[in-house]
Structure 1
């Protein structure tokens, strides 16, 4: 047990605490083995049909080896596995291994991947604002983040992981998009009603979300995010050095030394040294991880969830010591 604990605890930043159940969780990388769902998904979704559809497809997942985004398109040989990786919603689903590399939900690095759409030539990007970002709270969120710099690490941990995603989107993704592509449109829709439980994949729940999407488009006008951004957040165009630093700034992601090996680290991006707070397993489980998924990513999540229901959803995996 001593060696086991040392192997895991030494991977954490000073000040963090970890419990035995959390160690078991990180040993496996998740609570649910989605193999049955993956088998069903791979049977139902054919790579050749995706390629012959004539539609562009982009799917993103987060590498646990590098902490960076991995993208698949309709011509990728491993597009099916990429969809499954995008649906590996941490911390519920085991990481998906593709070409000997482990991946989880792409929402860690690209929760609202507008830059990818622009880089691939999109002239107009439609953003559906769900949790954590909504246009109604955009201005106050921007102002709060500016004031929080002296202790942003602690504030992030207290306000759940979605604040990290929000900070990255506001201070990196949106700024790069608006300054880098001034001739493009980034329009946002906010649902007029609560979409409900995102982990409910029943036919009734899916139809309700589709109907709400149609209703939102018919009843509301989209918000120009760049116009809103320049009005309330950034008035001076960054110089060459600032743009280079911004482009190289990594997103807040989960890093792991090896597949289901050393524990993941949560890195809060800060402009100064900040306090560390203890991260319990319950806090981790309470963090709301959302991702901007394409249709196949959603289907992957559906298949994976079904396997949880049918097979191996456990309170905690057993310690293997």
Structure 2
């Protein structure tokens, strides 16, 4: 999730890490059909032999080869779910998308309909999100012009904050939202509780009883929102490997109600990382000077925390995890 200022959260999408320019990242924008609502905007990164160029995409400049040919066969696909109020660009400039593409993965990042920087009309309807992830996977396997290069048995997912919740549901998690009442009475300052109080409506469940997608074979979950709704056994159906990240000093999703609750509920121990001195937004990449001036609460890190160095390790660990769990290219 995010701070209550949606526009400032969007500004947390940042420039690529210094020296991390992509050498093999093709890029396309697309729309995935969504029977549950508006078409879903997606950004697609993939290995390509074409030369990259500085390309404006929204308010950002990406180092990509627009519409370059896809290179490789039987490639793994990783889908990305952003935090509340974000966009498909939310993890592009961390070098995560380009790092994965350089490593031989296809990456599809969605802008969640109804919970993005321009429209938060359905931000409380968090169960919309796993359904939207399935629509993105449908698009990538059946409609994308590079679909022949994807191995449908090698699909992974990355999710941050609300996207981390999305990933857990997508791999079989069953949340119990009745727990929010007791937690929010005791901890009204938690971001989820503030969001619910602001919207003055409960979390709405989808018409389908299941939103899991069996095509997802591995997941990376960073700072998962609403982690407590999975305790104690809401993740018992999760059978895929999980890499789990927690920021030691996360004040938006305080320990132990979120990532720790997820760790304890998973039936198999995750590849668990606690990032010392990190805050919630340190999972977003380092900001440039303009972004730091505009969004200090998102861009500032604790004294002594090297956000640039952390992201180099973060991206490398994610690439390594997906190589091990989905198959090396």
After TM superposition, the score normalised by the length of structure 1 is 0.29
Greater strand content: 2
